[in-house]
Amino acid sequence: MADVFSAGVQPGGLNTSQEIKILLCYMLATVNQPMARDEVTDIIVADGMANYFDTEDAIEELLRLQHLVMDDARNIATTVTGKQIGESLSMRVPYMLRERSVKAALKLLKRREVERDNKVEIRRLEDGGCQVICTVFDQQKPLLSVALRVADEYQAEQIKENFLADPSFLYRSNLAVLTGDASLRRAGTQLIIKL
């Protein structure tokens, strides 16, 4: 029966409610931004830091005790006491888990910001291919838009992920090539662009 409750928890992961609550408070206090409840659970569970059910129970308990608050959009954040718990008791949770949780949360928040400030649209075409439109924005005004026709959704998703990983690179590289600030050199079948 114990295997059911520790399912998905990696070696060194958390198995006690107390440790999970401390980790949740620490992570949310450190990033200091509200996060979607589902995203918080996914971070803890996906990295094998704790079991899904234990994590959900810990969130419920922290909400009940008012160490966390949740808004109508199901975003959760720490209260003053939640921050104090995260800061003062963090040493009870292994350093690796604290760092891993914060890195995952910051990565997720950065991705959310990138998706808010940039746009990727994938349109299915009648011939089975896709058109991918990547747009870089600055203060809600489009700076650059690139439309590509690709063979399938798999390629379209790859382009989307690579674009969202660093949208400014697309803008900088295109600007450098189009203004002549980049040096181009052909080496056999390769095109080398120095920005």
**For range 141-147, the mean pLDDT:** 91
- What's the rounded mean pLDDT across residues 123-147? 91
The fraction of the chain above a pLDDT of 70, given in percent, is: 92
CB 34 within 8 A of CB 76: yes
Tokens of 155: 């390629």
pLDDT, residue 101, reads 92
pLDDT number for residue 1 = 40
Neighbour tally for 56: CB within 10 Å: 17
Q: What is the mean pLDDT of the chain?
A: 88
Domain boundaries, the chain: 2-114, 125-194
Q: Are 26 and 101 in contact (CB under 8 A)?
A: yes
Which CATH code fits 2-114?
A: 1.10.10.10
| pLDDT at 4 > cutoff 60 | no
pLDDT (average), residues 70-97? 93
Specify which residues 183 forms β-bridges with: 194
Question: pTM to 2 decimals?
Answer: 0.71
Q: Is the pLDDT of residue 2 over 50?
A: no
At 27-70, the pLDDT tens digits run: 999 999 999 999 999 999 987 899 999 999 999 999 999 999 99
So what's the pLDDT on residue 12? 66
Q: In the chain, what percentage of residues exceed pLDDT 90?
A: 62
Read off the pLDDT of each residue in 94-118 and give the average, rounded to a whole number.
91
Does residue 62 contact residue 21 with C-beta atoms inside 8 Å?
A: yes
d(C-alpha 89, C-alpha 25), whole Å? 9
